[in-house]
A and B are shown apart, each in its own frame.
Chain A
C-alpha cells in the first residue's frame, strides 16, 4: 500500500486529544482498529494528511456497569463485546450483531467507536445501539459533551463529531425488566458479509402492554434510522398480529433504500417489513 500521511501514536488519552487539537478537517483523523480506514486509504478513497493512532490508549477501553448505565470505551473491540457477560445480559441484540460482524480478525481489531464513526449505513453495531438509545461521549482537549446516537448522523457519512474530537465512550441505560432486544442481519451469505438490511428492535413490555419501542433500520437509507411512526404504533398497546403488521409496513415506508450490487431498493423495503414483523413478534413473545 502506498500513501502519504504522518502517523502519531498516542500513549494516553491526554496525548491523543492533544495530537488531534489542531485538526481542522478530515485530513487529520483518529486511527483505531483501522479495518475501515486502512481499506479506504489503500483504495485512495481517503487521503489523510495525518493519523493519530489510538491503539495504546487504555483509557478508551473497557466495559463497565456504571450504576444505571452500561458504559463502554470507544476502543472496545467487537470481540470484547462478545466476551462480556455484562453485554450478554444487557444487550442481546448487540451480541447478535457482533456475532455476525465480519470475520474473527476484524472483530479482534474493529472498535465500537470506529464502527459508529465510519458513517456507513450498513455499520452493524449502530442499529442495536440506536435501539438502546445509546449516547456518545465526545471529548477533545478542551471539551467533553454527550450526544445521543440518534442525533449523531447528519446525512450520508456526515456527523456532528468535530475533527478534534474522539468518541471516547458509548453508554446506554440498563434495560428495565420486561425489555427485549433483537437484531437480524440479512446478507447474501452467512459469514463475513456486508449487510443488505439490518433491523434492530428493542421493546419493553409491562403487563401485556408495550411501553417502549425502538426500531432501527440499517442499510436502507443514507444513515441508520429510527422508524418512529412504527414505534408509535406499538407503544401503549398490546401487540396483535395486525398491529405488528401495521408497524412493519410503516417501518418499510420509513426506509429509503437504493439499488446497489447487493440488492434492489424494492427487496430491501420488503426485507424491512419482514424483519420488523418477525423481530417485534419474537421480542413480544420471547421464548421461555
Chain B
C-alpha cells in the first residue's frame, strides 16, 4: 500500500495543500497544484528547467521529495513578478531577447535570482558557474548573460534585494 499524506506547502507566499505519496517529487506536486510555470525537462537534475527557490536557494524540484518541502518557503518564477510589475530579472530577460522558446527560462531566472541574492555584483565567471546547471538550446546563453548583468545593475541601483 502506498503511503500518502496531506502536505501543506508555502508557494509564493500562499498556502497550498495536497495529498501526496512519499515518492511524489516537488516538481510533480507543484504542477498538480497548478504551478505549471515549473517546467519538466529531464527529471534527473541535468537541465534545471524545474528550478525553484526553497528557503531562498535554487534547487531542482525534480530531485526534491514533496514531503521534505513541507513548511519551507517555495518561490517559483511567478512569485517574482508579473507582466505588469516584473522583477528586474524578468524585465531584463524580456527586453534583451533572452527568452526564445522560453522553456528553460523559469528555471534560468530562478537560478539567476539565487545567484544575485548572494552575490549582487557577480563577474562573468560567477554568472557562468551559477547557470551551468540550466541548459538552454536556443540562445547560446549570450543574451542570458547580458540579461543577468543588466538586472544585477538595476537591482544595485534600486539598492535592495527584491
Contact = CB atoms under 8 A, between A and B. Distances in A.
**Chain A–chain B contact at Cβ < 8 A:** yes
Interface of A: 1-7, 9, 31, 33-35, 38-39, 41-43, 51, 53, 55, 79, 83, 99, 102-109, 190-192
A43 B46 CA distance: 14
Contacts of A99: 129
A1 B28 contact: yes
Interface stretch (B64-72, B73-81, B150-158): B64-72
Contacts of B41: none
Nearest to B60: A105
Shortest beta-carbon contacts, A-B, top 10: A103-B133, A191-B132, A7-B22, A3-B23, A105-B60, A108-B57, A39-B44, A38-B63, A192-B132, A103-B132
Contacts, number: 102
Interface string B88-117: 000000000000000000000001001100
A106 B65 contact: no
Contact of B67 (A9, A33, A79): A9
A38 B48 contact: no
Nearest to B57: A108
Contacts of B111: 103-105
Nearest to A53: B68
Task: State the majority secondary structure of interface residues on B.
Answer: mixed
Given A53-B65, A104-B58, A191-B128, A1 B133 contact: no
Given A1-B23, A3-B23, A6-B3, A105 B65 contact: no
Interface string B25-64: 1001000000000000001111010010000011110111
A38 B24 CA distance: 11
A5 B4 CA distance: 11
A6 B43 contact: no
B83 interface: no
B68 A55 contact: yes
20 contacts: A1-B25, A7-B3, A7-B65, A31-B68, A34-B63, A38-B25, A39-B45, A43-B44, A53-B65, A53-B68, A103-B48, A103-B111, A104-B111, A105-B60, A107-B133, A108-B57, A108-B58, A109-B60, A109-B63, A191-B133
Nearest to B118: A83
B67 A41 contact: no
B63 to A, nearest CB: 5
B134 interface: yes
A104 B63 contact: no
Given A4-B23, A5-B23, A38 B129 contact: no
A105 B67 contact: no
Given A1-B25, A9-B68, A108 B63 contact: no
A1 B130 contact: no
Contacts of A102: 45, 133
